[in-house]
Structure 1
Amino acid sequence: MPGLSFTLPHWLYWVGLIAFPAIAMILARRPRPRQNTYSTPLGYMILVTGGIIGLHRFYVKNLLGLVFIPIFIFVLFANGQQQDARTTASTLINQIRSAERTIEREEPRVAEAEANLPQLRADLEAAEAEDDTLNQRRAERSLSRAEQTLETGRERLEEARTVLQEIGPVAEAAQDKRAFWDNAAGYALYLILLMLLIDAALLPGLIRRANAEIPPEEPSPVEEALAEYEAEEEGPKHDSQYAENWIDRLSLFCGEFVSYWAVIAVFVYYYEVIARYVFNSPTNWAHEAMYLMFGMQYLIAGSYAMLTETHVRVDVFYAPWSRKRKAWVDLLTSIFFFIFAGTLLVTSYIFAMDAIAVPSGNSLVSDWARGEIGLIEMFASFGMAQWTDPNIRWGEISFNEWEVPLWPMKWVMVIGALLLVLQGISKLGKDIREIARGN
Structure 2
Amino acid sequence: MPSLDFTLPHWAYWIGLILFPLVAMALSRRQRPRERRYSPVLGYFILITGGIMGLHRLYLSNLWGLLYIPVFIFILYANSEALTARSGVSDYANAVRMAERTLDREQGRVETARADLPALREALETAQAEADEGSFAIRRAERDVERAETRLEEGEARIALAEADLAEAKPGLETAQADLDRWNGMARIAFFAILAAMAVDAVLLPMLVRRANADLPEHEEMSEAEKALKALESAERKDDADYVSRGWTGALDRCSLYAGEFVSYWAVIAVFVYYFEVLSRYVFGSPTNWAHEAMYLMFGMQYLVSGAYAALTESHVRVDIFYASWSPRRKAIVDLLTSVFYFIFAGTLLVTAWIFAMDALAVPSGNGILSSWARGQISTGEMLASWDLRQWTDANIRWGEISFNEWEVPLWPMKWVMVIGGLLLVLQGISKFAQDLRKVVQGV
TM-score of the superposition, structure 2-length normalised? 0.96
Report what 1:71 is aligned to.
71
Residues 137-152 of structure 1: matches in 2 within 5 Å? 137-152=139-154
What is the CA deviation profile of residues 27-79 of structure 1, one whole-angstrom value per residue up to 9, with x for unaligned ones? 10000111120000000001111111111001111000011011001000100
Within 5 A, what are the aligned runs for 1:85-234?
Answer: 85-132=85-132, 133-218=135-220, 224=227, 227-232=230-235
TM-score (norm 1): 0.97
Q: Which residue of 2 aligns with 1:35?
A: 35
1:262 equivalent in structure 2:
267
Code of the residue aligned with 2:230 in structure 1: it is: A
Structure-2 change in CA distance of 1:48 and 1:365 (3 Å):
same
1:318-337 Cα deviation digits (max 9, x unpaired): 22222122112211221111
- For residues 343 and 226 of structure 1, do their structure 2 counterparts lie closer, same or farther at Cα, with a shift above 3 Å needed? farther
Relative distance call for 1:223 and 1:191 in structure 2 (3 A) is farther
Deviation at 1:218, TM superposition (A): 3.2
Instruction: Provide the C-alpha distance between the structure 2 equivalents of 1:142 and 1:226, rounded to a whole number of angstroms.
Output: 104
The CA distance in 2 between the partners of 1:190 and 1:168, in whole Å, is 33
Mapped partners of 2:314, 2:407: distance in 1 = 38
Amino acid at match of 2:163: R
Q: What are the Cα deviations for residues 329-362 of structure 1, in whole angstroms up to 9, with x where unaligned? A: 2112211111111111111111111111111211
Task: Find the counterpart in structure 1 of residue 440 from structure 2.
Answer: 435
How many corresponding residue pairs? 437
**Quick one: distance in 1 between partners of 2:210 and 2:2?**
35
2:418 alignment partner in structure 1: 413
Which deviates the most, 317-326 or 14-23?
317-326
1: CA distance, partners of 2:436 / 2:369: 45
1:4 and 2:7 matched: no
Match of 1:49 in 2: 49
Query: Is 1:322 equivalent to 2:303 in the alignment?
Result: no
Question: How much does 1:198 deviate?
Answer: 0.1
Structure 1's 157 and 433: CA in aligned 2 closer, same or farther, altered over 3 A? same
Distance 1:436 1:384 in 2: 54
Residue 304 of structure 1 is matched in structure 2 by 309
Candidates 273, 288, 305, aligned match of 2:293: 288
Give the distance between the partners of 1:272 and 1:98, measured in 2 at CA: 36
Shift of 1:230: 3.0
Tell me the CA shift for residue 170 of structure 1.
Answer: 1.1
> What's the offset of the Cα at 1:220?
7.2
Q: Deviations over 1:158-214 (max 9, x none)?
A: 000001111210111001000000010000000000000000000000101111121
Q: CA RMSD in A?
A: 1.5
The superposition leaves residues 202-237 of structure 1 with CA deviations (integer Å, 9 ceiling, x where unpaired) of 0000101111121122367997576233344xx121
Q: Secondary structure at the match of 1:319?
A: helix
Q: Can you list the C-alpha shifts for 1:10-35, whole angstroms capped at 9, x where unaligned?
A: 11111111111111111100001111
**Residue number in structure 2 paired with 1:279:** 284
* d(CA) in 1 for partners of 2:42, 2:396: 41
Distance 2:123 2:240 in 1: 101
1:322-401 to 2 correspondences below 5 Å: 322-401=327-406
Deviation sequence 1:91-115 (CA, Å, 0-9, x none): 1111111111111111111111111
CA shift, 1:435, in A, is: 1.4
Distance 1:117 1:224 in 2: 106
The letter for the 1-side match of 2:340 is I
**Structure 1 residue 240: deviation in Å?**
1.1
Counterpart residue identity of residue 242, structure 1: Y
Shift of 1:437: 2.2
Closer/same/farther in 2, CA of residues 163 and 226 from structure 1, 3 Å limit = farther
